Structure 1
Amino acid sequence: MGGGRWSDLDRPPLNAAALRRALVREDGLWSSLEVVQRTGSTNADLVARAEAGGAEEGAVLVAEEQSAGRGRLDRRWTAPARSGLFFSVLLRPGDVPVARWGWLPLLTGVAVATGLSRAAGVDTALKWPNDLLVTVGGEERKAGGILAERAGDGGVVVGVGLNVTLREDELPVPQAGSLALAGAAGTDRDPLLRAVLRSLADWYGRWRDAGGDPVASGLQETYAAGCATLGRKVRAELPGDRSLVGEAVAVDGDGRLVLATADGVRAPVGAGDIVHLRPA
């Protein structure tokens, strides 16, 4: 068989009509759901749509394959067609103070991790701020990431990339992982996407009802409980080629990682790359 739609029977296409029936409801968050075969980046597409007035809150855009998916710090994210979940959602939390919007990628991480533990039976952890880690052969590997971008119309587009059925020989880097490699009980992407989006709607609703308060919504506590970075010695690689080493002791009310350094200083890190220097 050539490279047709059914050429990889382990990787059937998503069923867009069934996903819409399950998720798009009058009284729910998700207002539309579209699956495209291939695009550069679902985040870029949805930001453009939102700014052109062509998308309402709760729009979900899913790609079977992304050719220019981006991670944090503009890193490339590529994977074979239908091997993962690559999607973006449009949120408009206008009733939440903008100062609290920084919690949205962390909230999405919690939602994805809780949805996957239910639907895939795989234990996922969060590396601050929003990498999804799975355990493969006793070592932590990154199986997914989250990227939030502001849309000029007062919205936020949150993108999720998750490796589902990637095999060892398909990994972009040796430190990457996938749900299949982590021994997931289920790798059928339709129920996985349904579970993740239902979990995201649930967490987003709780957070908005609490006015974005990370304590009242339970978000800060749940994030900390699932964060593999806390309790570890880490190196934070900061903007401007600076770095800071310390023990990650807390996630503060603004979603920043607090490091206790050797000289007794508690330093909050709001942006940067975190390297885990030793196991928890």
Structure 2
Amino acid sequence: MTSGSTPPPTRGPLDGDRLAGASDLTPDLSFELLAEAPSTNEVAAERARAGAHEGLVVVADHQSSGRGRLDRTWETPPGTAVTFSLVLRPTVPPASWPWLPLLVGHNVAKAITALGHDANVKWPNDVLLDGERKVAGILVERVETPTGPAAIVGVGINVAMSADELPVPTATSLAVAGPGAPDRTSVLLAVVAAVREGYDVWQAGGEQGTARLAASYRSNCATLGRDVRVELPGGGELLGRATDIDDDGRLVVATADGTERVGAGDVIHVRATSA
């Protein structure tokens, strides 16, 4: 395990040649590598409005002013994170769009698990290691373009941060989880491929595809079965047990006053109050 003030050694730049080679091998993906950007989501949204194709991945070697849900900031030291935004143009019915953030979180967790970590998802799409500490965050935004709506899928993964560089006690990185800090380019390629594959399967599957996604998501959701406090806009909250994810991707909470369902856009935080 990496701890203390000694930073992990793997902090070199992303490998542009490997990204270009990946674009050649997978024509449904292309990579635009930026040395630095305030927010890859903002750049990707500009590209989408200008006609960028589905599958464009805007990658920042260093993201200086990343954004999370509810405009929370997300910053990391240079060379320590994977930050990218993927342009998608879903053709699923509008009612299925709320599943997209959950799909992304689920497939990021699957990719990180394949890299040798115990990863799962806190509803709706925070990626946790060992069911407790956040290693990746996701922000999915809808933008209107001349050819129809696009989804900008922003992903940030803590890769090489040391323990004293983590922003909050509930965060972690792949380096802290150990052993060692993996190559950032390898992490990027693995995660992008997993998200694109999961998205393509979901798109092609229709209603059955969403049902399969829902079942798979539930099986890897760290929130289910736990007592939670759901913080709502305006200062309200729900206390109860997270019992299910419904067919619309909403969290089902059994409270003392009955069953409540909340969507990702309706909450400030969901915090576990017990194991």
User: TM-score, normalising length from structure 1?
Assistant: 0.89
In the alignment, which residue of structure 1 is the partner of 2:138?
A: 146
1:88–1:184 distance in 2 versus 1, CA, 3 Å: farther
Q: Report if aligned partners of 1:250, 1:258 keep a CA contact under 8 Å in 2.
A: yes
Equivalent positions of 1:237-276 (< 5 A) are: 237-263=231-257, 265-270=258-263, 271-272=266-267, 273-276=269-272
Equivalent positions of 1:204-215 (< 5 A) are: 204-211=199-206, 213=208, 215=210
Q: Does 1:76 align with 2:65?
A: no
- Residue 167 of structure 1 and its aligned partner are, at CA, apart by 0.3
Q: Does 1:111 align with 2:107?
A: yes
Q: Considering Cα pairs closer than 8 Å and 6+ residues apart, tell me whether 1 or 2 has the greater RCO.
A: 2
In structure 2, distance between residues paired with 1:184 and 1:112: 19
In structure 2, distance between residues paired with 1:261 and 1:83: 41
In the alignment, which residue of structure 1 is the partner of 2:11?
A: 11
SS at match of 1:211: helix
In the alignment, which residue of structure 2 is the partner of 1:131?
A: 126
- From the two aligned structures, give the one with the greater helix fraction: 2
- Residue 29 of structure 1 and its aligned partner are, at CA, apart by 2.7
Q: Does 1:99 align with 2:98?
A: no
Structure 1: gaps (5+ residues): 1-7
Residue 90 of structure 1: which of 87, 92, 98 is its match?
87
In structure 1, distance between residues paired with 2:31 and 2:210: 31
- Residue 41 of structure 1 and its aligned partner are, at CA, apart by 0.3
In the alignment, which residue of structure 2 is the partner of 1:219?
A: 213
In the alignment, which residue of structure 2 is the partner of 1:157?
A: 152
In structure 2, distance between residues paired with 1:179 and 1:196: 13
In structure 1, distance between residues paired with 2:256 and 2:76: 40
Deviations 1:207-243 (A, max 9, x none): 0011265544x21111111111000000111122211
In the alignment, which residue of structure 2 is the partner of 1:4?
A: none
In structure 1, distance between residues paired with 2:74 and 2:157: 10
- Residue 163 of structure 1 and its aligned partner are, at CA, apart by 0.1
Deviations 1:30-80 (A, max 9, x none): 1x2011111110001111221133x11100011111111011111110001
In structure 2, distance between residues paired with 1:214 and 1:239: 32
In structure 2, distance between residues paired with 1:127 and 1:74: 19
Q: Report if aligned partners of 1:144, 1:163 keep a CA contact under 8 Å in 2.
A: yes
In structure 2, distance between residues paired with 1:11 and 1:41: 20
SS at match of 1:37: strand
Q: Report if aligned partners of 2:82, 2:158 keep a CA contact under 8 Å in 1.
A: yes
What is the identity, as a one-letter code, of the residue corresponding to 1:187?
P
- Residue 14 of structure 1 and its aligned partner are, at CA, apart by 1.0
In the alignment, which residue of structure 1 is the partner of 2:3?
A: none
RMSD (Å), alpha carbons: 1.7
In structure 2, distance between residues paired with 1:224 and 1:36: 36
Structure 2: gaps (5+ residues): 1-7
Deviations 1:122-146 (A, max 9, x none): 11111110101113xxx82111110
Q: Does 1:191 align with 2:186?
A: yes
Q: Report if aligned partners of 1:122, 1:184 keep a CA contact under 8 Å in 2.
A: no
Equivalent positions of 1:223-238 (< 5 A) are: 223-238=217-232
- Residue 195 of structure 1 and its aligned partner are, at CA, apart by 1.3
- Residue 160 of structure 1 and its aligned partner are, at CA, apart by 0.2
In structure 2, distance between residues paired with 1:64 and 1:40: 11
Q: Report if aligned partners of 2:10, 2:181 keep a CA contact under 8 Å in 1.
A: no
User: TM-score, normalising length from structure 2?
Assistant: 0.90
In structure 2, distance between residues paired with 1:202 and 1:212: 17
What is the aligned length? 262
